[in-house]
Structure 1
Amino acid sequence: MRNNRAMTPHRIAVLAVDQVVGLDLGTPSQVFRSARDADDRHFYTVDTCTPGGRPVRSSAGFQVLPDHGLELLEEADTVIVPGVHGDATQRRDVVEPEVTKALRGAYDRDVRIMSICTGAFVLAAAGLLDGRRATTHWAYADRFRQLYPEVDLDPDVLFVADDRVLTSAGVAAGMDLCLHVVRSDHGSQVANQAARRCVVPPWRDGGQAQYIERPVPQAPDTSTAAARDWVRHRLHEPVSLRDLAEQARMSVRTFTRRFRAETGLSPTQWLLRERTDHARLLLESTDLSIDQIARRSGFGTTAALRQQLHQRIGVAPSTYRRTFKGGAPVDASGGAERP
């Protein structure tokens, strides 16, 4: 869904229903309006609508006064449904028929449909998730399965991309999904710049586990963050688990346990993904040879890079580079697209 820069911006409609989650409502505007080209022109416009253009209550004790009604969905290129609380997560029949009709009409016009957190309940009520893989906030997983057993729910990931329908887990995972879409549409550099403007990390893997009741370090000296930052500047060098543990001044066992608690990944998995992410950025933004990129990202050989990239997104390095420098984005299924 990458736009030609000479064309008008990609139009996003954020559909708010009663008991909308305030943070989820603001996330698309914050992220997508931060995506700009080298001349500071916006790639996206973001507008909010409600059924009938009426005010709706938020779950945070304020009302949302929109500028548009559901007719906005008829003009949109992407529709995003933020999270909801209350009745929409309790019953199947609570979503207004006009909302269902508008969402299904947008989908039938090949519009990209997204949800943040419990917004997946609205998409499911509209029948847009039937037979699809999807996710939502882990705390609502059991209730979601009871209401919508026809959906292939995976509550253990941050977001899922199933063709033109994308769903995310709770709160910050909505930002991860929006950045994923920017990256898919316009590449890593634009997405990374948008993340900097939002002062958030540029990437968390969509397949990464949701942070479910994991312990949080209580003091800076118990965190593995410094070790992660240290190795990011040395991706081209051979780095062992012991090296990382020494940087954190921990035993290997303690470091491994705390690392997984903080990231949801083992140190080896995390390092492999960091190297792959770096290789992808170099493929998109430089004219270095594939062999040079393999060395600079720590894979050593083109064969090793090719194997890992194919495992991650199903394409060879040369194909990935040609795609991102030529126009259409690589099609990543199941939330597998990475920077």
Structure 2
Amino acid sequence: MHRIVVLALDGVLPFELGIPARVFGSAQTSGGAPLYEVVTCSLDGGTVRTCADFAIAVEHDGTVLDTADTVIIPSGHGPLFEGNEPPPRLAGALERIRPGTRLVSLCTGSFILAGAGLLDGLPATTHWARADEFQRLFPRVKLDPDVLFVDNGDLLTSAGCAAAIDLCLHLVRRDHGSEVANGAARRCVVPPWRDGGQAQYIERPLPEPSVATTGPTRAWALERLHLPLSLAQMAAHAGMSVRTFTRRFREEVGMSPGQWLGHQRVELARHLLETTDLPVDRIAERAGFGTGASLRKHLREALGVAPLAYRRTFRATDQRAFTSV
């Protein structure tokens, strides 16, 4: 069983600390067997002070870090999450982690990874409100403050608060496919995927109550992904000019209409590849790519794999999980 070790540091946010156990603990085979083991540790096995008015007792010390398949560092406030390098005891704990272990930061946990030099030269994200501080402290990191999470393979970072849920579900999906991830999301009563990035949550003046939104048009488009939808058609449905629609769409979703449409089509294609035996050309039609060649191009750009390779990986993963009980 894949072992996840959550490192709780003084100043940790209780909400983010509890997310890994809740999300990964909700990932199950079709027979209800757990797919992950989640344990929580502190540096010395002692009580951890949170940023709230209570402390948390954990059962493990930092020696369990060298048993982890994945290490997750939740966010927090205080000295451990503010310096540009970890203090000696924390640095020593990070050195216990075996090479090849997947490392994940939630929100400001990225300050820990960056301080250890693990994000140098790589794209990463953190909470938008601390993006300027992060860039000042860690100029070698390619910070993207507009996304919900960044996946570098075995090194992943998420934006603030609920984006930690998005990242954990993404990992479940990457490990076991969309059916398992969707089941975990249902058990947690959260959406399996959220559109857009942090841009939609950054503080801005609120629009006038009478101003129209692009939400109804997004719902309309999701029912018509198999059709060749144009920007002009979407703007017309929203009753806006193309320019106004594009600007408002980006403000609300954090990406352009074309990027959003492409993302939704890739997600539909992934779902069909994982859950049906439809030929690639038929999936391409249903997802709005038109031809199998177009689907192959878009899937390779988004995921780095061809459709049949993706299907073999995730259908096989699901079958192994489902027949293991």
TM bin, normalised by shorter chain, reads 0.7 to 0.9
CA contact (8 A) 1:135 1:168 kept: yes
Equivalent residue for 2:79?
87
- Residue 42 (str. 1) matches residue 37 (str. 2): no
Residue 19 (structure 1) aligned to one of 11, 36, 42: 11
Q: Quick check: 272-281 or 227-236, which moved more? A: 227-236
Distance in 2 between residues matched to 1:262 and 1:30, nearest whole Å? 29
Measured after TM superposition, the shift of residue 127 of structure 1 is: 3.1
Alignment equivalent of 1:78, drawn from 70, 77, 99: 70
Q: Which residue number in structure 2 is paired with residue 305 of structure 1? A: 295
- CA deviation vs aligned residue, 1:129-153 (integer Å, no higher than 9, x gap): 2343322112222322333334333
Answering whether residue 162 of structure 2 is matched by residue 154 of structure 1, we say: no
Q: Which residue of 1 aligns with 2:321?
A: none
- Taking the aligned partners of 1:177 and 1:86, their CA distance within structure 2 comes to 24
Residues 299 and 92 (structure 1 numbering): CA distance in 2 closer, same or farther, change over 3 Å? closer
Q: Give the total of aligned pairs.
A: 318
Instruction: Say which SS state the counterpart of residue 84 (structure 2) adopts.
Output: coil
Which residue does the alignment assign to 2:60? 68
Aligned to 2:310: 320
TM-score (normalised: structure 1): 0.84
The answer on whether the counterparts of 1:90 and 1:143 sit within 8 Å (CA) in structure 2 is no
For 1:258-280, what per-residue CA distance to the aligned partner results, in whole angstroms no more than 9, with x for missing partners?
32211111222211211111011
> Contact (CA 8 Å) 1:158, 1:173: kept in 2 or not?
yes
Separation of aligned partners in 2, 1:112 and 1:182? 13
* Counterparts in 2 of 1:159 and 1:205: CA distance versus 1, 3 Å: farther
Task: Assess, with a 3 A threshold, how the Cα gap between structure 1 residues 234 and 302 changes in structure 2: closer, same or farther.
Answer: same
In structure 1, what is the Cα distance between the partners aligned to 2:114 and 2:244?
Answer: 42
> 1:41/1:76 Cα in 2 relative to 1: closer, same or farther (>3 Å)?
same
State yes or no: 1:102 paired with 2:93.
yes
Per the alignment, residue 115 of structure 2 pairs with 125
Query: Is the 1:118–1:170 Cα contact (8 Å) retained in structure 2?
Result: yes
Cα separation, 1, equivalents of 2:61 and 2:215: 45
* TM-score normalised according to structure 2 size: 0.88
CA distance in 1, matches of 2:83, 2:154: 25
Residues 98 and 227 from structure 1, CA distance in 2 versus in 1: closer, same or farther, beyond 3 angstroms? Answer: same
Q: How does 1:1-339 map to 2 (within 5 A)?
A: 9-92=1-84, 95-108=86-99, 110-204=100-194, 209=199, 211-214=201-204, 222-245=212-235, 247-327=237-317
- CA gap of 1:169–1:243, structure 2 versus 1, over 3 A, is same
**3-state DSSP class of the match of 1:52?**
coil
For the Cα contact (< 8 Å) 2:169–2:181, is it kept in 1? yes
Counterparts in 2 of 1:111 and 1:216: CA distance versus 1, 3 Å: farther
Say whether the 8 Å CA contact 1:169–1:210 is kept in structure 2.
Answer: no
CA 151–238 in structure 1, closer or farther in 2 if over 3 Å, else same: closer
Q: Which amino acid aligns with 2:230?
A: S
- The structural deviation recorded for 1:42 is 1.5
What is the SS of the residue equivalent to 1:53? Answer: coil
Amino acid at match of 1:14: V
Q: Deviations over 1:235-285 (max 9, x none)?
A: 112333354345545554443333221111122221121111101111111
Gaps (5+ residues) in structure 1?
1-8, 329-339
Displacement, 1:190?
1.2
Question: In the aligned structure 2, how far is the partner of 1:79 from the partner of 1:206?
Answer: 26
Alignment partners' CA distance in 2, 1:33 and 1:181: 13
Describe the shift of the 1:275–1:326 C-alpha distance in structure 2 as closer, same or farther (beyond 3 A). Answer: same
Q: Which segment is superposed worse, 176-185 or 42-51? A: 42-51
Percent identical residues: 55
Taking the aligned partners of 1:60 and 1:53, their CA distance within structure 2 comes to 20
